[in-house]
Amino acid sequence: MKKDLLNILDLTEGEINELIATAEDIIANPDAYAHRCDRKKLATLFYEPSTRTRLSFEAAMYELGGQVLGFASATSSSVAKGESVADTARTVACFADIIAMRHPKEGAPMVAAQNVDIPVINAGDGGHNHPTQTLTDLLTIKREKGRLDHMTVGLCGDLKFGRTVHSLITAMSRYEGVDFVLISPEELVIPENVRTDVLVRGNIPFVETRSLEEAMPKLDVLYMTRVQRERFFNEADYIRLKDSYILTRDKLTTAKSDLSILHPLPRVNEISVEIDRDPRACYFKQVLCGKYIRMALILKLLEV
Ligand code: NCD
């Protein structure tokens, strides 16, 4: 039976560990993987803007010897003529072996998956989930910290609409001894379903705060996020909230010396560029991790 990746919970902890191990082996021995996907094709169907996710999927497939087709915006495909996600997916499945789809509507990649016999990967659906960013984040944290358990993870910014946040909390809640500090304005706290279904039900320790300064000394990982302008109903609310948190050198004075600072990117204003040279800044290493973990994922879903 074909396997999709729609939600990070589609993978067991064991499968995530295997993907991380494969990604690390690819990093160590890239030549051994250069022809694993010869003659295979990946379709990238992106109905929303993307730089890292789409290009890292494409680079991943090329580095495995495969080929890539697809579209980078809804306006350049028959979607602009009113074609449904199901029909587009069925069409693309005639040409490709695996699909990565990003869509502004929650659940769109699931609809695609239900209509085709090839694996479908959710590359971000609305404000819902972003499982491959989470795999990227987990690989980055594993490489930086040497573990995924026993740590305090701070998530800061737009916790309401940030799909990467929802998937990362869900994934990291499964590791022992992980607790969360959720730093956001009142209006952008985590959605009720993440709070009750993941944190409360899982008995996961977490605190919510408005203050990044207060949280800083406790953190092993700080995951900064952008305020998700495209999900706001009202531009005035976005403008009021967009600069709620800006990480500067001053704010890091109370941080642990081995803090790891992550950001799924794109950055708008949340991290001052002066931090980029700080050895604790991991967000560009994180981008590279995204390519390797997607290579591992493509291999797994194509069963090669
Ligand atoms: C994120 C996304 O698309 O959700 N970007 C990414 O995939 N690296 C984060 C964001 O857009 O803020």
Phi, psi of 30 (to 5 degrees): -60, -35
Nearest CA to ligand 1 atom 12: 226
Give the integer Cα–Cα distance in Å for 32 and 41.
19
Whole-number pLDDT of residue 180: 98
Do β-strands 206-209 and 178-183 pair in parallel, antiparallel, or remain unpaired? parallel
Give the pLDDT confidence of 180-201 residue by residue, as tens digits: 999 999 999 999 999 999 999 9
Return the SS3 of 154: strand
Among 55, 128, 133, 140, the mutation site with the greatest number of ligand 1 atoms within 8 A of its Cβ is 133
**How is residue 115 written in tokens?**
């209509």
The ligand 1 site (C-beta within 6 Å) comprises: 52-53, 124, 130, 133, 163-164, 226, 264-266
The reply to whether domains 8-128+290-301 and 131-287 share a CATH topology is: yes
Gap from CA of 265 to ligand 1 centroid (Å) = 6
Residue in 221, 204, 198 with CA at minimum distance from that of residue 152: 221
Closest atom of ligand 1 to 265 CA is 8
pLDDT in tens, the chain (304 residues): 999 999 999 999 999 999 999 999 999 999 999 999 999 999 999 999 999 999 999 999 999 999 999 999 988 888 888 999 999 999 999 999 999 999 999 999 999 999 999 999 999 999 999 999 999 999 999 999 999 999 999 999 999 999 999 999 999 999 999 999 999 999 999 999 999 999 999 999 999 999 999 999 999 999 999 999 999 989 999 999 999 999 999 999 999 999 999 999 999 999 999 999 999 999 999 999 999 999 999 999 999 9
Phi, psi of 210 (to 5 degrees): -95, -10
CB neighbour class for 61 (10 Å; exposed up to 12, middle 13-18, buried from 19): buried
Give the integer Cα–Cα distance in Å for 121 and 5.
5
Give the integer Cα–Cα distance in Å for 181 and 253.
18
Nearest CA to ligand 1 atom 1: 264
Do β-strands 120-125 and 221-224 pair in parallel, antiparallel, or remain unpaired? unpaired
- Alpha helix (H) residue ranges in 1-64: 13-28, 52-63
**How is residue 188 written in tokens?**
């952008």
Among 265, 283, 293, the mutation site with the greatest number of ligand 1 atoms within 8 A of its Cβ is 265
Length of the chain in terms of residues written: 304
Closest atom of ligand 1 to 163 CA is 4
Closest atom of ligand 1 to 130 CA is 4
Gap from CA of 53 to ligand 1 centroid (Å) = 8
End-to-end CA distance of the chain: 14
Q: For 8-128+290-301, which CATH superfamily applies?
A: Aspartate/ornithine carbamoyltransferase (3.40.50.1370)
**How is residue 224 written in tokens?**
């900064």
Give the pLDDT confidence of 123-170 residue by residue, as tens digits: 999 999 999 999 999 999 999 999 999 999 999 999 999 999 999 999
According to DSSP, residue 270 is labeled: S
Check if CATH label 3.40.50.1370 holds for domain 131-287.
yes
Domain ranges, ordered by start, for the chain: 8-128+290-301, 131-287
70: left (phi over 0), alpha (psi -120 to 50) or beta: left
Give the integer Cα–Cα distance in Å for 57 and 287.
11
CB neighbour class for 300 (10 Å; exposed up to 12, middle 13-18, buried from 19): middle
Among 47, 128, 130, the mutation site with the greatest number of ligand 1 atoms within 8 A of its Cβ is 130
Gap from CA of 266 to ligand 1 centroid (Å) = 6
Gap from CA of 219 to ligand 1 centroid (Å) = 22
Closest atom of ligand 1 to 136 CA is 8
